[in-house]
Amino acid sequence: MASLFLLCLGFLVLLGGHGVWTDSGMEEEELFGLLQVMGSLLEDPTWAEQHSSPCAETPWPGIECEVSEGSSVFHVTKIHISPEIVDPPCKSTAKLSEWVGSLRFLKTLSLIKCFSVSPFRLTDGVVEAISGVEVLALESNPSLGGGIPAAISALKNLRILCLSQNNLTGVIPPEIGKLSNLEQLDLSHNALEGRIPERIGGWRNLGILDLSWNVLESSIPPRIGELESLEKIDLSSNNLQGEIPASLGELKRLTLLDLSRNSLSGRIPETLQNLNQLQYLILEQNPLNTTVPSFLGSLPLLRVASFSGCQLSGEIPASTLSGLTNLTALSLDDNCLSGELPPEIWRLENLNTLNLSRNHLTGEVSPPPEFMVRLGERLDVRENRGLCTGEESVSKLLQIPSCSSKPVFTTNATREGGDDRSRRIDDDDDNLKPKFYTGGTSKDPPAKFYPPLLLLRYLCSVNVFLLLLT
């Protein structure tokens, strides 16, 4: 292999001297560097021969070049290796050759599912070699381990940093706050620990912040409210503590806020009512120990609200339900809610999932037939000892006792009911939570995913892909 490259180089030197090797349209050092980089990543030993002129006659779909102004010399601006381009993407001994440093015009480095056996680390040397990149997407590389170096702050042009689904450990270096051009930061599905850096207020252009599925355990820094461009925040499945910061209410562009599966406690700040672009408010599985917020009705675009397992108590305020014309899924299950169901709940015209199970709700439940038909098995009011219903048929469907007979609700009924229900599952509905349980890759813990989260999860790759197309 090495001899092949030496041979190549020999050729170049013979043919082109020290200038541009005309056949390839590239400077010889850059061409040689590219061949080295690809050779150290890809399995195919004939790649260099087959793509001896990768910017011109023998292009490769994962490589993009640009002609520099006022000359006809090509420069490599993008390397993108993923299963859509070549399958399997990289060889088992893959490594990133230090020759990547010779690609001085490289703007995008995107290596997806590349390092799965041979260990790879983001060393200071690697960072230095790619110091000009705007997009760094190293995703789904199980053998990309170690920490994120503080030197990453040297990547001054970085707009998109996606290090999702690797094997990264250690803390998020505070220096990352210096990357003032960041538009997307996705460090999800790693084993990062410690704090969310306090000094994150400088990311004025940051639209997406995804730190989900790590083991972060600080409180959420209040300065998050300074990130005025934020549209999506996913901090779910960490061990974050303290209260939900009121400053989140300043993020006027926010469409998704997912803080689920953490250890957040205390109030749900009233300021969140200012988030008039918010579509997804996912707070489930946090020991909040508070009441159902009364302001949901002032979030006009709200589509999904989940407060499952949040230790909520008190009644469901009727006022919070009016005006939620866009609401499609409401989960209040597994709390300590009491009192009767406000009839406003049946008037949520776009609702198609409602889970109120496992609470202490009381009184008679009588959803309109249209509502029952629309929600089907996605209407769950089981395991509320005090709920009953008037009609025998409704009692069967909802699996709650009829008010006249007053039987004691048993765990047996729930289990048998569960079996009944599974026969009626409507697979087409996007908001049915069980559908989003994913076995995932073996590394992923089983998780419930809502469609937007899936979207968020693949945003990095999509963007990289889009960039590729442009």
Ligand X SMILES: *[C@@H]1O[C@H](CO)[C@@H](O)[C@H](O)[C@H]1NC(C)=O
Crossing angle of helices 28-41/2-16, nearest 10°? Answer: 170
Three-class DSSP category at 146: coil
Least Å from the CB of residue 358 to ligand X = 5
The H or E element that residue 56 is part of is: none
Residues 172-201 that bind ligand X (CB under 6 A): none
Q: What is the 3-state secondary structure (H, E, C) of 246-278?
A: HHHHHCCCCCEEECCCCCCCCCCCHHHHHCCCC
- Main-chain dihedrals φ then ψ at residue 121, nearest 5 degrees: -130, 150
Binding to ligand X by residue 325, rule CB under 6 A? Answer: yes
The HSE-up count of residue 388 (CA atoms within 13 Å, CB side) is 13
Would you say 142 or 222 has its CB closer to ligand X?
Answer: 142
Least Å from the CB of residue 30 to ligand X = 32
Least Å from the CB of residue 115 to ligand X = 8
Would you say 58 or 350 has its CB closer to ligand X?
Answer: 350
Binding mask 121-160 for ligand X (x = CB under 6 A): ---------------------xx-x---------------
Binding to ligand X by residue 334, rule CB under 6 A? Answer: yes
Residue 270's CB is within 10 A of a number of other CB atoms, namely 13
- Contact (Cβ atoms closer than 8 angstroms) between residue 186 and residue 206: no
- Contact (Cβ atoms closer than 8 angstroms) between residue 305 and residue 281: yes
Least Å from the CB of residue 301 to ligand X = 5
Residues 394-453 that bind ligand X (CB under 6 A): 410, 412, 433-434
- Contact (Cβ atoms closer than 8 angstroms) between residue 59 and residue 106: no
Binding to ligand X by residue 355, rule CB under 6 A? Answer: yes
| Distance between CA atoms of residues 357 and 326, nearest Å | 22
Stretch that binds ligand X, among 154-162, 173-181, 200-208, 352-360 (CB under 6 A): 352-360
Binding to ligand X by residue 229, rule CB under 6 A? Answer: no
Between the CA of residue 217 and those of 161, 194, 220, what are the distances in Å?
Answer: 22, 6, 9
Residue 33's CB is within 10 A of a number of other CB atoms, namely 22
Least Å from the CB of residue 142 to ligand X = 4
Least Å from the CB of residue 217 to ligand X = 18
Would you say 54 or 145 has its CB closer to ligand X?
Answer: 145
Binding to ligand X by residue 306, rule CB under 6 A? Answer: no
What is the total count of residues that contact ligand X (CB under 6 A)? 23
Stretch that binds ligand X, among 106-114, 178-186, 231-239, 349-357 (CB under 6 A): 349-357
Least Å from the CB of residue 96 to ligand X = 16
Binding to ligand X by residue 326, rule CB under 6 A? Answer: yes
For the chain, the maximum distance between any two Cα atoms, rounded to a whole number of angstroms, is 97
Binding to ligand X by residue 85, rule CB under 6 A? Answer: no
Binding to ligand X by residue 333, rule CB under 6 A? Answer: yes
Would you say 10 or 266 has its CB closer to ligand X?
Answer: 266
- Contact (Cβ atoms closer than 8 angstroms) between residue 324 and residue 297: yes
Binding to ligand X by residue 350, rule CB under 6 A? Answer: yes
Would you say 180 or 325 has its CB closer to ligand X?
Answer: 325
Would you say 131 or 326 has its CB closer to ligand X?
Answer: 326
Interface residue with ligand X among 358, 375, 395, 460 (CB under 6 A) is 358
| Distance between CA atoms of residues 64 and 457, nearest Å | 25
Binding to ligand X by residue 301, rule CB under 6 A? Answer: yes
Nearest to 155 by CA among 174, 139, 175, 184: 175
At residue 12's C-alpha, the angle toward residues 6 and 13, to 5°, is: 90
Would you say 17 or 418 has its CB closer to ligand X?
Answer: 418
Structure-token pair, residue 384? 């509320």
| Distance between CA atoms of residues 358 and 351, nearest Å | 20
Residue 92's CB is within 10 A of a number of other CB atoms, namely 11
The residues of the shown chain that bind ligand X, judged by CB under 6 A, are 142-143, 145, 167, 169, 289, 300-301, 308, 325-326, 333-334, 350, 355, 357-358, 378, 380, 410, 412, 433-434
